[in-house]
């Protein structure tokens, strides 16, 4: 593992210095160019990862953190400094081998400025003060049963968390003998620590995000047989309604575009930037696909960084970014 890390460090310096670019922009509607300039380029910032995931921008410090679940590592990337190892182990503190993806996945900075991680191997949501270190468990069970492998998470302004729990990080996945919960759920964690399953009928819930007004919760399904972005109305008590299909990526799959719906983020005007077939899909709040930021890789997740107008993308072996003409919700 150490040799791989050193390889990544050396490659990162070269990639950034040369400002390597990749990918392509595909506009299906001219409105796409209100969000991405026609001449914008996808920059490759670092490469050599096994599966890069869960990026988050740390405003205080101006750097990016992201997961590599197979390496059980959180990496840090900062302009002028490049790549470094931030935290290892990131999601599995066991002694024996666990699964192909034991580390952390989705990351956020919570309302208190702490790093919150979805941990596969330790099967929990944790939080960690960046200035002090030392993880604290936010939640690891529902009705006394351990989660599968928390995948992605978002926090509302009132402190409520929503996160997804598919089986990807379990040994043998959904057939794992250690699986304790029948459903692959979406959960809510209240500020008092109470955990509720708010969605229990999805096969592969994955990325999760809130609309800017926090009235809608979006959940990506990475199920190839039901590749939907689901939208749920958030009730006054934080529970969700029955939901609806907000966007169907089936046609993109039929075109042979590679990749699944995975992570997603929302712009200040409610436009959704979702990873999916070919890279990142740009979708209006009404569910219309405007175009694609093609990365050339299966793309796992994305996040807003810097002043909120730069979109960072974790795509298989790579860390990438592109300058946009919008800003992310929360900036």
pLDDT for 289 beyond 60 = yes
Mean predicted lDDT score pLDDT of the chain: 94
**Maximal C-alpha separation, the chain:** 54
Task: Answer yes or no: are the C-beta atoms of 109 and 330 closer than 8 Å.
Answer: no
**Residue 331 is assigned to a structural domain of this protein:** no
**Residue 22 is assigned to a structural domain of this protein:** yes
CATH number of the domain residue 275 falls in:
2.120.10.30
Closest CA to 299 of 328, 320, 282: 320
Q: What is the dihedral of CA 323, 326, 330, 331, to 10 degrees?
A: 70
Closest CA to 206 of 178, 164, 169, 176: 164
Note down the domain range covering 114: 2-323
Could you report the per-residue pLDDT of 74-94, keeping only the tens digit for each?
A: 999 999 999 999 999 999 999
The pLDDT-based confidence of 5 (bands split at 50, 70, 90) is very low
pLDDT for 205 beyond 50 = yes
**Residue 237 is assigned to a structural domain of this protein:** yes
**Residue 118 is assigned to a structural domain of this protein:** yes
**Residue 278 is assigned to a structural domain of this protein:** yes
Q: How many domains does the chain have?
A: 1
Asked whether the whole model's pTM tops 0.85, one would answer yes
pLDDT for 26 beyond 90 = yes
* Number of H-type helices and E-type strands within the chain: 2, 28
**Residue 329 is assigned to a structural domain of this protein:** no
**Residue 330 is assigned to a structural domain of this protein:** no
pLDDT for 202 beyond 80 = yes
The pLDDT-based confidence of 49 (bands split at 50, 70, 90) is very high
Task: Answer yes or no: are the C-beta atoms of 205 and 219 closer than 8 Å.
Answer: yes
Look at residue 198 and give its three-state secondary structure: strand
What is the separation of C-alpha 48 from the centre of its chain, rounded to a whole number of angstroms?
19
**Residue 284 is assigned to a structural domain of this protein:** yes
């Amino acid at each position: 593992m150490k040799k791989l890390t050193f390889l990544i460090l050396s490659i990162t310096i070269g990639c950034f210095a040369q400002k390597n670019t990749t990918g392509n922009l595909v506009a299906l509607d001219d409105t796409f160019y209100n969000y991405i300039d026609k001449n914008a380029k996808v920059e490759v910032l670092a490469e050599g990862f096994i599966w890069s995931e869960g990026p988050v921008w740390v405003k205080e410090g101006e750097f990016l953190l992201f997961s590599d679940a197979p390496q059980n590592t959180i990496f840090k990337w900062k302009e002028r400094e490049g790549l470094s190892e931030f935290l290892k182990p990131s999601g599995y503190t066991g002694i024996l081998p666990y699964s192909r993806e034991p580390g952390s996945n989705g990351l956020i900075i919570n309302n208190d400025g702490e790093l919150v991680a979805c941990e596969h191997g330790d099967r929990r949501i944790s939080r960690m003060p960046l200035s002090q270190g030392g993880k604290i468990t936010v939640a690891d069970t529902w009705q006394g049963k351990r989660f599968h492998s928390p995948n992605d998470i978002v926090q509302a302004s009132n402190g409520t968390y929503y996160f997804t729990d598919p089986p990807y990080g379990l040994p043998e996945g959904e057939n794992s003998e250690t699986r304790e919960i029948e459903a692959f759920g979406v959960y809510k964690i209240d500020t008092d620590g109470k955990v509720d399953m708010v969605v229990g009928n999805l096969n592969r819930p994955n990325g999760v995000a809130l609309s800017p007004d926090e009235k809608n919760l979006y959940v990506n399904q990475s199920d190839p047989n039901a590749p939907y972005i689901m939208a749920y109305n958030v009730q006054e008590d934080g529970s969700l309604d029955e939901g609806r299909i907000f966007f169907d990526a089936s046609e993109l799959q039929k075109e042979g575009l590679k990749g699944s719906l995975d992570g997603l983020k929302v712009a200040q005007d409610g436009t959704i930037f979702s990873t999916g077939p070919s890279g990142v899909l740009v979708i209006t709040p009404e569910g219309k696909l405007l175009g694609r930021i093609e990365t050339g890789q299966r793309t796992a997740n994305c996040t807003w960084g810097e002043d909120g107008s730069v979109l960072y993308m974790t795509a298989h072996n790579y860390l990438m970014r592109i300058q946009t003409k919008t800003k992310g919700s929360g900036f």
